[in-house]
């Protein structure tokens, strides 16, 4: 399965490692190259420095062939924008957005977006 993750903090890093260990093809996007370095030299996935809702960055990550997309950055706004782009524009079949504000999560859940809060 081809999975794209935006955000390489604790959640994004752990998710990326888990998925790679299970044999999935993973691309991790973060605007901070130092965050991507947390993955270490043995990480077998793709690392992309850039903004996770930028069309060119998403295409470089392979979103047109992605089976799943996880927006796990530290910004609710960036996560929901990226998730909506993945779902509505690129038609990624499985999309989840991490949101810190539970009220926002409920709103997006009602709109059919899968969120973790």
Give 93-105 pLDDT, tens digit per residue. Answer: 999 999 988 888 8
pTM recorded for the entire structure: 0.93
| 66, 92 Cβ separation under 8 angstroms | yes
pLDDT digits (tens, 9 = 90+) for 22-43: 999 999 999 999 999 999 999 9
pLDDT digits (tens, 9 = 90+) for 72-87: 999 999 999 999 999 9
Give the separation between CA 109 and CA 103, rounded to whole angstroms.
Answer: 10
Residue 64 clears pLDDT 80, i.e. is over it: yes
Residue 111 clears pLDDT 80, i.e. is over it: no
Give the separation between CA 38 and CA 70, rounded to whole angstroms.
Answer: 18
- Calculate what percentage of the chain has a pLDDT beyond 90: 83
Residue 70 CB contacts under 8 Å (≥ 6 apart), including other chains: 3, 4, 5, 6, 12, 15, 95, 96, 97, 98
Distance of CA 110 to the CA centre of its chain: 21
């Amino acid at each position: 399965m081809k999975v794209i993750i935006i955000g390489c903090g604790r959640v994004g890093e752990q998710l990326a490692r888990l998925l790679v260990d299970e044999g999935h093809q993973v691309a991790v996007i973060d605007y901070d190259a130092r965050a991507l370095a947390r993955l270490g030299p043995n990480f077998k996935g793709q690392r992309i420095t850039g903004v996770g809702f930028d069309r060119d960055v998403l295409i470089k990550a392979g979103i047109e062939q992605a089976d799943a997309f996880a927006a796990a950055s530290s910004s609710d706004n960036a996560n929901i924008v990226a998730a909506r782009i993945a779902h509505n524009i690129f038609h990624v079949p499985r999309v989840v957005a991490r949101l810190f504000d539970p009220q926002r999560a409920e709103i997006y859940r009602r709109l059919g977006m899968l969120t973790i809060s």
